[in-house]
Amino acid sequence: MFVNPQARQRVAPLRARPGEGWREQLGGWLFCLPALALLALFLVIPIALAAWVSISNWDGIGSPLSSGVHSVGLANYKALLTEPGLARTDLGESVRNNFYYVLFVVPIQTLLALVLAVVVSRKGLFARGFFRTAYYFPSVTSSVAIAIVFQFLFSGTGTLNAVLGFLGIHGPNWFSDPNGVIQNLLAAVGVHSGPSALVNHGLLGLSWWQWLSGPSVAMCALIALGVWTTTGTFMLIFLPALYNISEEVEEAAQVDGASAWQQFWRITVPLVRPVTFLVLTLGLIGTWQVFDSVFLISQGNPAGTTLTPAFLAYTTSFGDQQWGQGAAIAFLLFGLIIALVLLQRWLLGRRERRSERRARRAQRRAPAPRMASQQAASQQAGASARNSR
């Protein structure tokens, strides 16, 4: 290929001179140094100290680095995971309760957030700004105020039970009922005890029959609170992804005669898949760290059925003065969250790769060109996937 020598001379002076690269890197690191120092001071060092506390006998008095504090190895972790006792039982109850909280809150809040985002993104919607603000308002309201409102709504003589009574249904005393929902349904059909295989075996001090009891009635109220306060935030995360969908895709779907449900399921959902993964990840992390609603409303009661690992770490450290076990609970929760996020990413990535392979096989077998909406949607989905990477 012929290159003009004069053009080559014009380009040559723009190249970096030898030795200038390390100067630019040094300047960049110097600019980042204040931020790195703050991260080390308020993040790295506290995490390192907490890790030391989790394997030490620190009693909360004085510095954890003093000469009187000694390492106890993995004794705090063994007491929580392997040794029979109250510590292991409390950890098992907290993980079970939080598991059901995550199981219900994350899917519901993600679906509601996507549906609300689709609704408020419609151009013909009257007072779109009002509805966006109204849906997002619970996310910025004080958690104390929300806790007071929900205590009024879900009390034995509260608004919800009054509505249920008007419909002829006797509502429970929500924040005082420790019974599991699944076992209540089984008891209604005459099943009051589980098989011996579930009753005599278990994990973390709880039998499998207790693990399968479902969320308690009190936890259901906290689940409703969690969905109500977080849906608006995730709705705002979905909105930019919806605005990024080309109008040509929607117009092509309308030309092809696709219904509103087909447009939502076949076009909108695949195109916002990277944002959906973000919302699921943030929801998974946030729900496993739930603390404020438990602290303000139930304190882990009734009978420990609203206890969560985050609240258990707090009560173990500041209430029982067992700082080593409290720090160990926090690190076990951290490891659990990381493992679940990685598992979720692997499952979603595997599903996406499977869908791509299925689409390629269908394209090779198709005797005619695809419809305009599918072609436009697939092109934009590929562009979105490349941008997300």
**C-alpha to C-alpha distance for 49 and 66, rounded to whole angstroms:** 12
Higher model confidence: residue 19 or residue 181?
Answer: 181
**C-alpha to C-alpha distance for 389 and 386, rounded to whole angstroms:** 5
Give the model's confidence band at 155: pLDDT under 50 very low, under 70 low, under 90 confident, else very high.
confident
Over residues 184-202, the pLDDT tens digits come to 888 888 888 888 888 888 8
- Return the pLDDT at 368: 46
Over residues 320-330, the pLDDT tens digits come to 899 999 999 99
Q: For residue 80, which of 71, 72, 91 has the smallest C-alpha distance?
A: 91
% of the chain with per-residue pLDDT over 90:
42
Over residues 332-383, the pLDDT tens digits come to 999 999 999 899 888 877 777 776 777 677 667 655 444 455 555 555 655 5
The enclosing H or E element of 227 equals helix 217-243
Taking the model in full, what pTM does it have?
0.83
Q: Which whole number is the average pLDDT over 16-38?
A: 81
Burial string for 243-266 (b: 16+ CB within 10 Å, else e) reads eebeeebbebbeeeebeeeebeeb
Give the model's confidence band at 20: pLDDT under 50 very low, under 70 low, under 90 confident, else very high.
low
- Return the pLDDT at 369: 43
Q: What is the mean pLDDT of the chain?
A: 85
- Return the pLDDT at 56: 93
Residues pairing with 216 in the sheet? 180
Distances (CA, A) of 163 to 157, 169, 216, 241, 365: 10, 9, 21, 38, 57
Q: Which whole number is the average pLDDT over 65-88?
A: 91
CATH class of 79-180+215-388: mainly alpha
